[in-house]
Amino acid sequence: MMMIIAEFFVVILKVMWAFVAAGAKWVVPRKEKSVAGQVCVITGAGSGLGRLFAKEFARRGATLVLWDINSQSNEETAEMVRQIYKELDAPPLKAAVGGVEEVPTFQPHVHTYVCDVGKRENVYSTAEQVRREVGEVDILINNAGVVSGHHLLECPDELIERTMVVNCHAHFWTTKAFLPKMLELNHGHIVTVASSLGLFSTAGVEDYCASKFGAIGFHESLSHEIQVSEKDGISMTLVCPYLVDTELFKGCRIRKEIEPFLPPLKPEFCVKQAMRAILTDQPMVCTPRIVYMVNFMKSILPFDAIVCMYRFLGADKCMYPFLAQRKEAMNNNEAKNGI
């Protein structure tokens, strides 16, 4: 019995120290680690946050492996990355030999793969191809995401399944593809790009919220498993941004009087915050920080109180303008195609 009591007090001390350490990181950020030369896989690299993540890792000299279902947009991201590499590789002054400028040979460290992460076999085969052609993966950014843009009762079943597969199930497959070698080497970093809608939900996007809740549950469980395995060389980072100003949720709005105080996030700001967390091995980052408070309040307040708060903020129906725009766009496309 005395052993249990002693162990309990040790746990309390460790919990208190964890709070102190977490607070210290906010005040005095840890030194960023180097990712130069490391192989980084980014899913959904052809647009949105994925493209910005690619540019940030390129600026730090990582070897990039870009996955996207759209080959054209993926190649556009790759070209941006190659330009960044060229700028980094260019010497301050070009040497002239015999009156002729010598331009250093540049080898772009970026590889593109067309991959539908919603298809398990495609993920595994593409991962094997990456290992053969590029090498073992050091960093995995699970970023690919979709949204159906329909109210539940108007949403076709196949779109619901697609949202769940891409936003949640794909994380299982990419992790199963690359984690074994990370465990063997005791080295790696897995990043889950989720959403604040995986911490607390809203009306009209049931499939998206469910998929992000699932992705966060997967990430947290995997984090515990890695801790249990005592592989201290493998890091996990969960990214939960508030509404990001991209095409994914274009038109989403909270109460107009509140919006100036809580506007949609600029994608660049969101990715810079996420990169800081990744490079300092921070387990979780919510942007903006008020998301931490909202999540805490959701944990302690009764549901009716949450509803009251949502209505005050205009967060209860914030997705309705977005859903209306998507429906109108779909109807216009059907009319143009004569459907």
Active site residue 113: no
Please state whether 78 falls in left (phi above 0), alpha (psi between -120 and 50) or beta.
alpha
Q: How far is CA 84 from CA 47, 151, 169, in A?
A: 17, 41, 33
Nearest to 38 by CA among 180, 159, 187, 146: 187
Residue in 208, 242, 292, 310 annotated catalytic: 208
Please state, in angstroms and rounded to a whole number, the distance separating the CA atoms of residues 138 and 38: 6
> Active-site residue numbers?
208
